[in-house]
């Protein structure tokens, strides 16, 4: 078991003919993910990657032809809103958007529409997710994680890889690793993932990697103290970040005194979460 | 991207929000000319992108054109919180009966825009929010539906606005909403919106912040960027696709990924150092990017050591090492460098760097400790 993606995932790649889309589709195929279709308006009927993946003009047509149930979006920011809305209307259950730099008002519209439709969104501005040994839906390098019982949920990209790799070096594997993205308005959040990990029989322990900005970690802490029975270990990036400055991620900013690392660490510790001082401590905190 | 008061008010005016008839001046003579045209008393307002202009002496009332010229001359030579005053706005003096706060911003937790109003206008709204939050009335706007008239009525009732002003207030709110939406603002604020002696409303101060990610839709607004508010090094970094933020410490760092960059700063502090900057080199650490990053980090004279922390995912460690070697050839840094490569092909990368004039580390903790020691001169290659 795992959450959100497994060997039954049938993936359609939006923007498959672009440089990033094509490169990462090949990586996902090599990992064993069932990539059943790609889309690019005007290129319907073509095939890519040595005729392994058929290309369709729209997601709806791709879903009808292949039974795809999950979509991943590699479309530049200018077209990402339309791509996400198209996916929500196509019949897939789950949409992963990797695109960075999407205007925040676009995301407010997209998120409101997804809530109406009842479709799940992951991202944007995220590395996607990885269920080691089963499926990779995104760009998390497959070889840095092994199958196991640790659920990982994170707002970051390479920081997550760092943690997965540290776990692997300690012989610890992951059930699923989910990157929820660094934007202020996104789809799936910490609580959604914590709830799924709590219910997932393969997951015994969870790592939550947060950062400055917003109050999602504080809300996650409330959820943990109220509903989680499994052990959660945390890490918060940005203790040394100055207020009022956006630290790379659009959502990583301390504004009006809200969103500091200190507040988040305090909230998590109050909920019984052990919070690591630095990423390499995480395996030790999980073990003892 | 922040807009100046005069720019924000120009935009508001396009959407029917009533603003004073003033204009902007770059010289005392221009200020005099504008004051002459307006006639009567005027207010001379410094145009800088910081709060607290009034307290700093950057907003002055003049009784006539001659005094406006003199005050403009004084204000145009000022710096406010480190920013030089390059322009002043000359507005007719307002006849203020009542001051109201009005603003639209993104409510991150609610995932939608929020229209806020308060009868406690004219003062710092963050202070009101902190001390008397009940004085701020909030109306959330459905992004799919837009701002509805009944919501504006709710707000008018909440701030106890006299009903004589309701019609105009509706036009101001709808205008502000359109200005916010159509220009991809993250903040559109009128503080204060005043009720004048004649009963009409006027937006006598305005502020807009635009979403940098949406500027491609507004090229005419993107040109208005005020480079005074950005450190030169940050502008330079942007050109190379790097995100750089200068801090006050002595250990420079170069990292791939924003979250990892923050974690690297934090671990430097954890082991007793202070980070000199945040720098996210993004994906694909090419020689050109690495060289630009090193140059930018070393422009800061406080930097005593530099820590490279690169996690090879899709980017392979050996390719990163090549980039670092090529960049070192070009830049020849004079401070100790500590490099830590991890992830895909990290061992190959480390082997390539073994001959270079730099300290290497396997773990992040080791790298941070070495960087702290190198910065104090305790550790040398």
**Any idea what the CATH number is for the domain that residue A197 is in?**
3.40.50.261
DSSP secondary structure code for residue A125 in this structure: S
| pLDDT at position B335 | 93
Q: Are residues A118 and A208 in the same domain?
A: no
Q: How far apart are CA A238 and CA A7, in angstroms?
A: 36
Cβ atoms of B255 and B275 within 8 Å: the answer is: no
Residue A5 within any structural domain of the chain: no
pLDDT in tens, B353-379: 888 889 999 899 999 999 999 999 887
Mean pLDDT rounded to a whole number for chain A:
96
Q: How far apart are CA B351 and CA B3, in angstroms?
A: 50
Q: Which residue has the higher pLDDT, B250 or B347?
A: B250
B101: annotated active-site residue: yes
Residues in chain A: 288
Residue A241 within any structural domain of the chain: yes
Residue A232 within any structural domain of the chain: yes
Which residues on chain A are in Cβ contact (under 8 Å) with B129? 256
Q: How far apart are CA B76 and CA B71, in angstroms?
A: 8
pLDDT in tens, A188-215: 999 999 999 999 999 999 999 999 999 9
Q: Are residues A22 and A70 in the same domain?
A: yes
Q: Are residues A106 and A185 in the same domain?
A: no
- Of A122, A153, A183, the one marking the end of a domain is A122
Give the pair of three-digit tokens for residue A64. 């009808």
Q: How far apart are CA A133 and CA A143, in angstroms?
A: 10
Q: Are residues A230 and A256 in the same domain?
A: yes
pLDDT in tens, B210-268: 999 999 999 999 888 888 877 777 888 888 889 999 999 999 999 999 999 999 999 99
Using the beta-carbon criterion (under 8 Å), do B106 and A185 form an inter-chain contact? yes
Residue A127 within any structural domain of the chain: no
Pairing of strands B83-84, B243-246: unpaired
Residue A2 within any structural domain of the chain: no
| pLDDT at position A219 | 97
CB-based burial label for B381 (10 Å; 0-12, 13-18, 19+): exposed
Using the beta-carbon criterion (under 8 Å), do A157 and B259 form an inter-chain contact? yes
| pLDDT at position B121 | 79
pLDDT at residue B312 greater than cutoff 90: no
| pLDDT at position B100 | 96
**Any idea what the CATH number is for the domain that residue A113 is in?**
3.40.50.720
Q: What are phi and psi of A18, to 5 degrees?
A: -75, 170
| pLDDT at position B133 | 86
A191 at B interface, C-beta within 8 A: no
- Of A87, A122, A157, the one marking the end of a domain is A122
Give the pair of three-digit tokens for residue B127. 């202070």
Using the beta-carbon criterion (under 8 Å), do A140 and B313 form an inter-chain contact? yes
HSE, side-chain direction, 13 A CA sphere, residue B224: 20
Residue A185 within any structural domain of the chain: yes
- Of A56, A90, A122, the one marking the end of a domain is A122
The beta-carbon neighbor of A78 closest among B129, B216, B247 is B216
Q: Are residues A101 and A52 in the same domain?
A: yes
Burial B97-117 (b: 16+ CB within 10 A, else e): ebbbbbbbbbbbeebbbbbbb
pLDDT at residue A100 greater than cutoff 80: yes
**Residue B206 bridge partners (DSSP):** B190
For chain A, percent of residues with pLDDT exceeding 90: 93
Q: What is the mean pLDDT of residues A106-115?
A: 98
Least confident piece of the model among A133-137, B64-68, B330-334, B362-366: B330-334
Q: How far apart are CA A207 and CA A194, in angstroms?
A: 10
Residue span of the structural domain in which A177 resides: 140-287
Residue A100 within any structural domain of the chain: yes
| pLDDT at position B76 | 96
| pLDDT at position A35 | 98
| pLDDT at position B169 | 98
DSSP secondary structure code for residue B134 in this structure: G
A249: annotated active-site residue: yes
Q: Are residues A107 and A204 in the same domain?
A: no
pLDDT at residue B381 greater than cutoff 70: no
* pLDDT bracket for residue A178 (50, 70, 90): very high
Using the beta-carbon criterion (under 8 Å), do A184 and B108 form an inter-chain contact? yes
Q: Are residues A154 and A274 in the same domain?
A: yes
| pLDDT at position A213 | 95
| pLDDT at position B314 | 67
Instruction: List the single residue in B with minimal CA-CA distance to A255.
Output: B126
Q: What is the mean pLDDT of residues A91-114?
A: 97
Q: What are phi and psi of B253, to 5 degrees?
A: -140, 150
Q: How far apart are CA A204 and CA A281, in angstroms?
A: 18
Q: Are residues A48 and A117 in the same domain?
A: yes
Q: Are residues A144 and A267 in the same domain?
A: yes
pLDDT in tens, B123-179: 777 788 888 888 899 999 999 999 999 999 999 999 999 999 999 999 999 999 999
* pLDDT bracket for residue A135 (50, 70, 90): very high
- Which H, E and C letters describe A75-97, residue by residue? CCHHHHHHHHHHHHCCCCCEEEE
Helices (H), chain A: 19-31, 59-66, 77-88, 104-117, 158-169, 190-199, 216-227, 261-270, 282-287
pLDDT in tens, A231-249: 999 999 999 999 988 998 9
Q: Which of B5, B15, B30, B101 is catalytic?
A: B101
pLDDT in tens, B21-52: 999 999 999 999 999 999 999 999 999 998 88
How far apart, in Å, do the first and last CA atoms of chain B sit? 44
Q: Are residues A145 and A218 in the same domain?
A: yes
Tally the domains of chain A. 2
Least confident piece of the model among B64-73, B256-265, B313-322: B313-322
Q: Which residue has the higher pLDDT, B287 or B268?
A: B268
Judged by CB atoms within 8 Å, which residues 56-75 of A form the interface with B?
A: none
Q: Are residues A164 and A82 in the same domain?
A: no
Going across the sheet that includes A231-237, the strands are A135-138, A128-131, A174-179, A147-154, A205-211, A231-237, A274-275
Using the beta-carbon criterion (under 8 Å), do A247 and B261 form an inter-chain contact? yes
pLDDT in tens, B81-121: 888 999 999 999 999 999 999 999 999 999 999 999 999 87
Cβ atoms of B1 and B210 within 8 Å: the answer is: yes
Note the pTM of the prediction, 2 decimals: 0.93
Judged by CB atoms within 8 Å, which residues 230-249 of B form the interface with A?
A: 243, 245, 247
Residue A244 within any structural domain of the chain: yes
| pLDDT at position B226 | 84
| pLDDT at position B284 | 67
Q: Are residues A222 and A102 in the same domain?
A: no
Give the pair of three-digit tokens for residue B163. 């009903």
Which residues on chain A are in Cβ contact (under 8 Å) with B116? none
* pLDDT bracket for residue B322 (50, 70, 90): confident
Cα torsion B192, B195, B201, B204 to 10°: value is -30
Q: Which of B5, B30, B69, B189 is catalytic?
A: B189
């Amino acid at each position: 078991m795992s959450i959100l993606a497994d060997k039954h995932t049938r993936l359609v790649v939006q923007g498959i003919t672009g440089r990033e889309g094509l490169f990462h589709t090949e990586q996902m195929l090599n990992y064993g993910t069932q990539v059943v279709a790609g889309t690019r308006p005007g290129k319907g009927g073509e095939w890519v990657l040595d005729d392994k993946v058929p290309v369709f003009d729209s997601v709806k047509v791709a879903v009808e032809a292949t039974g795809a149930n999950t979509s991943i979006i590699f479309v530049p920011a200018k077209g990402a809103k339309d791509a996400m809305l198209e996916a929500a209307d196509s019949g897939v259950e789950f949409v992963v958007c990797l695109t960075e730099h999407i205007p925040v008002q676009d995301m407010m519209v997209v998120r409101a529409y997804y809530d109406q439709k009842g479709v799940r969104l992951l991202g944007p501005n995220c590395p996607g997710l990885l269920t080691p040994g089963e499926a990779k839906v995104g760009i998390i390098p497959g070889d840095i994680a092994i199958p196991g019982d640790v659920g990982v949920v994170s707002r970051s990209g390479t920081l997550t890889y760092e943690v997965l790799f540290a776990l692997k070096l300690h012989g610890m594997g992951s059930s699923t690793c989910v990157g929820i993205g660094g934007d202020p308005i996104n789809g799936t959040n910490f609580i959604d993932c914590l709830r799924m990990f709590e219910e997932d029989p393969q997951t015994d322990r969870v790592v939550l990697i947060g950062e400055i900005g917003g109050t999602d970690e504080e809300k996650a802490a409330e959820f943990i103290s109220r509903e989680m029975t499994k052990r959660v270990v945390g890490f918060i990036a940005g203790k040394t970040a100055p207020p009022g400055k956006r630290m790379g991620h659009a959502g990583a900013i301390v504004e009006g005194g809200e969103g500091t690392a200190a507040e988040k660490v305090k909230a998590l510790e109050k909920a019984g979460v052990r919070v690591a001082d630095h990423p390499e401590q995480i395996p030790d905190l999980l073990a003892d | 991207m922040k807009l100046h008061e005069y720019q924000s008010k120009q935009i508001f005016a396009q959407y029917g929000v009533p603003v004073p008839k003033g204009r902007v001046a770059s010289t005392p003579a221009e200020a005099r000319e504008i004051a002459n045209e307006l006639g009567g008393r005027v207010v001379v307002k410094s145009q800088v992108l910081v709060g607290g202009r009034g307290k700093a002496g950057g907003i002055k009332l003049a009784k006539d054109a001659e005094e406006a010229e003199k005050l403009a001359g004084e204000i145009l030579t000022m710096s406010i919180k480190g920013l030089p005053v390059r322009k002043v706005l000359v507005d007719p003096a307002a006849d203020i009966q009542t001051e109201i706060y009005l603003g639209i911003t993104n409510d991150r937790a609610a995932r939608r825009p929020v229209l806020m109003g308060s009868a406690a206008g004219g003062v710092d709204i963050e202070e009101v929010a902190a001390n008397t939050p009940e004085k701020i009335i909030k109306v959330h706007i459905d992004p799919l539906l837009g701002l509805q008239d009944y919501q504006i009525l709710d707000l008018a009732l909440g701030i106890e606005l006299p009903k004589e002003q309701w019609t105009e207030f509706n036009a101001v709110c709808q205008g502000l909403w359109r200005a916010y939406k159509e220009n991809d603002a993250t903040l559109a604020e009128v503080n204060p919106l005043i009720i004048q002696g004649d009963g009409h409303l006027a937006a006598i101060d305005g502020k807009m912040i635009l979403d940098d990610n949406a500027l491609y839709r507004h090229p005419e607004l993107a040109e208005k960027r005020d480079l005074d508010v950005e450190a030169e090094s940050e502008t330079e970094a942007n050109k190379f696709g790097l995100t750089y933020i200068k801090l006050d410490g002595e250990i420079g760092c170069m990292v791939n990924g924003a979250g990892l960059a923050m974690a690297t700063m934090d671990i430097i502090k954890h082991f007793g150092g202070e980070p000199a900057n945040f720098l996210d080199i993004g994906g694909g650490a090419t020689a050109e990017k690495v060289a630009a990053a090193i140059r930018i980090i070393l422009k800061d004279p406080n930097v005593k050591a530099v820590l490279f922390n690169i996690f090879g995912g899709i980017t392979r460690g050996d390719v990163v090492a090549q980039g670092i070697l090529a960049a070192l050839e070009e830049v020849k840094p004079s401070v100790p460098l500590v490099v830590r490569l991890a992830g895909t092909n990290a061992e190959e990368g480390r082997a390539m760097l073994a001959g270079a004039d730099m300290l290497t580390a396997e773990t992040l903790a080791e790298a941070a400790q070495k960087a702290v020691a190198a910065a104090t001169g305790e550790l040398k290659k």
